[in-house]
Chains A and B, each alone.
Chain A
């Protein structure tokens, strides 16, 4: 099986090079989106500049090495689309509060200096989203379930984990490889917008696609650690998972969450296995129920 996977990988290699060229183009397209001032060309984009129509392409860094500026632009574009589907809850105190908790948690990660942006969005769905570069949103429906600041910190820390591990960028890379045929077609026929769509999908579609199960388990493991480092009760995220596990998958408000994540029961078991006895010495984590900002009704 592994050997087969190896063969497939080798067979895909030339395509990967072509796709990397596509990525370079797409990143340039992205730079022209979102009303952002175009930055000076990054080393990535100049390296990615292909000799047109040449099959012998220069070596291009894998997507894991996307310069941070480009990563933020991709995230900014996705975040803007997500906000197009669900705008911010009109409550400044709430939004500021979530940013303070989120930034404190993110400060415990290896990427403390990203321009972290957190928000609560108008949706009764129970869900949370992370986009590359540090854009993180929780729905009003999820926020309403929270009982204390440690639970909020746990949820945000899980999303921070997706960002620090660049999980969505990895998915984009994979989908490029998988959709290689149609992508080349798009490239031939398509406009700049089409190329962006080829990479990210329409609107905030990438948020509906979901990540690999193992990426979710990894974000759970990172989430409890970051919350613990930030001084919170380590069990905020598990408590939220237990609350969500309560809901039936055919409940409308969790339909997308359950579709894009492993079942909360499975996540609890995996997380429990990973945590083991390691957190037994942490007995002074804070819950801060009195500080959890209540939403205006």
Chain B
């Protein structure tokens, strides 16, 4: 019985675990390191566009396999999915997958009885006072939110806003003014 409960606990944690053995692609040039730390031993350079296999995640790092090397890379330097592979819509699962029946039209026609949010539908939307009041009714106070956070337990910390970054070599130039 206790063992069963442990199993259930373990299963509950599964969604958090990094996707095991998932293909990935380097989004920019970066360094593969022996451990998930900035000052860990560098194992080699990863070039933008390189194919990877994502094995694990530790906060802001992915453990990846690149060729024969295995190490850690910054999570934000990696896109999930193989190079050139853009569509994996089916993997979203659940609700989102329902809407892919008309992929390519750019619109979701409400096959499921749910109204959509295409550009046209947004334009023709009518003000709904009753819904708005309902929404406002769910609003909570700062104090309520604070109590809720403490139960997390979440602890507020100081952290400075980020400056606008300089472009990196791998960042591409399309990000600038068009």
Interface residues of A (CB under 8 A from B): 33-35, 76-77, 79-88, 92, 95-96, 98-101, 103-104, 107-108, 112-113, 115-119, 121-127, 135, 139-142, 144-145, 147-149, 201-205, 207-208, 213, 217-218, 221-222, 224-225, 228-235, 238-239, 242-243, 245-253, 255-256, 259, 262, 264-266, 268-280, 282-283, 285-291, 295
Contacts and interface: CB of A to CB of B under 8 A. Distances in A.
Given A82-B125, A208-B123, A274-B162, A252 B136 contact: no
B129 to A, nearest CB: 6
B67 to A, nearest CB: 22
A233 B59 contact: yes
A85 B114 CA distance: 10
Contacts of B107: 252, 255
B79 A265 contact: yes
B7 interface: no
Nearest to A242: B80
B94 A144 contact: yes
Contacts of A217: 175
Contacts, number: 317
B4 interface: no
B166 A88 contact: no
Most A CB contacts (10 A, CB to CB) among B88, B162, B170 go to B162
A233 B128 CA distance: 36
A248 B74 CA distance: 24
B1 interface: no
Contacts of A86: 115-117
